[in-house]
Amino acid sequence: MALVIFDLDETIIGTDSDHAWGMYVVDKGLVDEVNYRETNQQFFDDYKQGIMNVDAYMAFSCAILGKYDQQFLFDHRAKYLIDHIEPHILPKANSLIQSHQEKGDTVIVITATVDFLTRPIVESLGIDTLIAPVAEIVDGRYTGGITGTVSIGAGKVARLEQWLKGQEITMKDSRFYSDSINDLPLLERVDQAVAVDPDEKLSRVARERSWPIISLR
């Protein structure tokens, strides 16, 4: 039995859940269309290049949660998941997850996308443990802020190590599946890094280090 970690966006779902949510809230008129669409795309492009400002991104990404009450947000999230996420869940990824679970491996997801969006996705895949940026809630309402360390880049390693302190499991024979160069710190931390439909930068690193490169598309 081993610890098996999956990235979420563009790894086990064939889209970026945060970017897709940004497009959804624009289409539904929940935010200012012109400014939001442009900024959402810029953060997405910066992330792909590995140059995104994490603090600015999280402030932008979570601001909408502070504008509306929880039930209103949950209702829209349900529609978004049906229309924009379910069609992009990759069958091969789902099969891979199940194969690890059947072996008795501990399967978790670590993602840079806020838990408000990602927890129901991960639960639908039969995975109990999610490490994601945590949207702050005060008095039953989202504040638009984040609590704790953001699980992006080196933050994924920090959050994983924090989680491991409460577990009877080690990093021995650990494995991490990811598509993104942003995940290099965690890919370097595990015993087996696996590049999944990798971006150009990660593909180059994977070839240089003889990491497996697979496709789940």
Q: Which residues are annotated as catalytic?
A: 7, 9
Residues paired with 9 in a beta bridge: 13
Query: For the purposes of burial, counting CB atoms within 10 Å of the CB of 145, is it exposed (0-12), middle (13-18) or buried (19 or more)?
Result: middle
Reading the block at residue 143, the tokens are 């504040």
Q: What's the rounded Cα separation, in Å, for the pair 45 and 48? A: 5
- Closest residue by Cα to residue 7 from 90, 101, 112: 112
Listed in order, strand segments (DSSP E) in the chain are 3-6, 106-110, 129-131, 134-138, 141-147, 175-178, 192-196, 213-214
- Closest residue by Cα to residue 44 from 27, 61, 24, 64: 61
Q: What's the rounded Cα separation, in Å, for the pair 59 and 57? A: 5
Q: What's the rounded Cα separation, in Å, for the pair 22 and 112? A: 15
